[in-house]
């Protein structure tokens, strides 16, 4: 793992984990592009863990007030988060374990990038609502959680699908973003645990120098913090559709590239 590649991955993780453009899709495409026809990166388990921890730190810092309120006045939201996480456990985890080839296919990512774009365009046309995430029903939380679980597929943005789902359940823009990122906490923790268990099962030790890992975590943290701020700012201004056009264009490019390779 070169330092320059680590920095590239840290920036991609920090940007695409939060902006509605699909971090998994970008990493799959980047892996095939840099890895050649085999699409193989160096072993990234240790890198994935620390970069996820960096982006998790971004959420904790940006939403620290809402997280503290979960322990006091907003304890009901913990139950909603639990319900919203269940689909990721019962749907997302089996997909990860049984269909790893699909989750690492750049062609699949290319086909699904536009779907993220269309979801963002549709959500941007919804009339602003006044619903608060603290007052959601369990059906609302479960629906948003199902959207998060499906977003394990490359090219589908986790933040984009969950925010669009929240808006469709009459949440206001701020609440849709807040619940999306609160729901990301167990999702990101779960991804880190899975990577750690994979390393432990294979008997692997971290291969990347500790200093590199620390710098990578810090880069993903600060880039992620900026990305969360930017998404909230653009969402409040009703400009989330700009990410839609990027996803649609990227999908067309990636699909064309993959079909040209296979022909």
The predicted structure's pLDDT at residue 249: 97
Mean pLDDT value of segment 159-178 = 95
- CA angle in degrees (0–180, nearest 5) for 35-253-37: 20
Structure tokens at 177: 């973003």
The predicted structure's pLDDT at residue 174: 94
Q: What is the pTM of this model?
A: 0.89
Q: DSSP code of 131?
A: B
pLDDT digits (tens, 9 = 90+) for 69-93: 999 999 999 999 999 999 988 887 7
β partners of residue 171: 131
The predicted structure's pLDDT at residue 241: 87
By three-state DSSP, how is residue 157 classified?
Answer: coil
pLDDT digits (tens, 9 = 90+) for 14-71: 998 899 999 889 988 987 887 655 545 555 566 777 888 899 999 999 999 999 999 9
pLDDT digits (tens, 9 = 90+) for 186-235: 988 887 776 666 666 666 656 677 888 899 999 999 999 999 999 999 99
Q: Convert 33-44 to b/e letters by CB count within 10 Å (16 or more is b).
A: eeeeeebebeeb
φ and ψ at 41, to 5 degrees? -85, 170
């Amino acid at each position: 793992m070169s330092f320059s590649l680590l920095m590239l991955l840290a920036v991609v993780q920090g940007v695409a984990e939060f902006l509605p453009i699909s971090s998994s899709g970008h990493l799959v495409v980047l892996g095939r592009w840099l890895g050649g026809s085999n699409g193989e990166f160096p072993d990234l388990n240790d890198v994935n863990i620390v970069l996820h921890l960096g982006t998790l730190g971004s959420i904790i810092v940006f939403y620290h007030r809402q997280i503290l309120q979960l322990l006091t006045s907003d304890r009901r939201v913990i139950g909603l988060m639990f319900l919203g996480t269940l689909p990721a456990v019962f749907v997302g985890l089996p997909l990860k374990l049984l269909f790893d080839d699909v989750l690492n296919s750049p062609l699949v990512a290319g086909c699904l990038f536009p779907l993220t774009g269309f979801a963002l365009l549709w959500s941007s046309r919804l009339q602003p609502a006044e619903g608060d995430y603290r007052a959601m029903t369990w059906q609302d939380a479960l629906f948003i959680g199902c959207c998060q679980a499906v977003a394990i597929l490359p090219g589908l943005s986790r933040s984009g699908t969950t925010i669009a789902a929240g808006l469709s359940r009459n949440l206001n823009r701020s609440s849709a973003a807040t619940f999306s990122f609160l729901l990301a906490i167990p999702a990101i923790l779960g991804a880190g645990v899975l990577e750690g268990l994979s390393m432990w099962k294979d008997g692997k030790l971290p291969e990347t120098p500790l200093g590199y890992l620390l710098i990578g975590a810090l880069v993903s943290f600060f880039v992620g913090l900026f990305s969360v701020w930017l998404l909230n700012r653009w969402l409040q201004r009703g400009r989330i559709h700009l990410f839609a056009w990027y996803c649609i264009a990227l999908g067309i490019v990636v699909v064309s590239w993959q079909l040209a390779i296979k022909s």
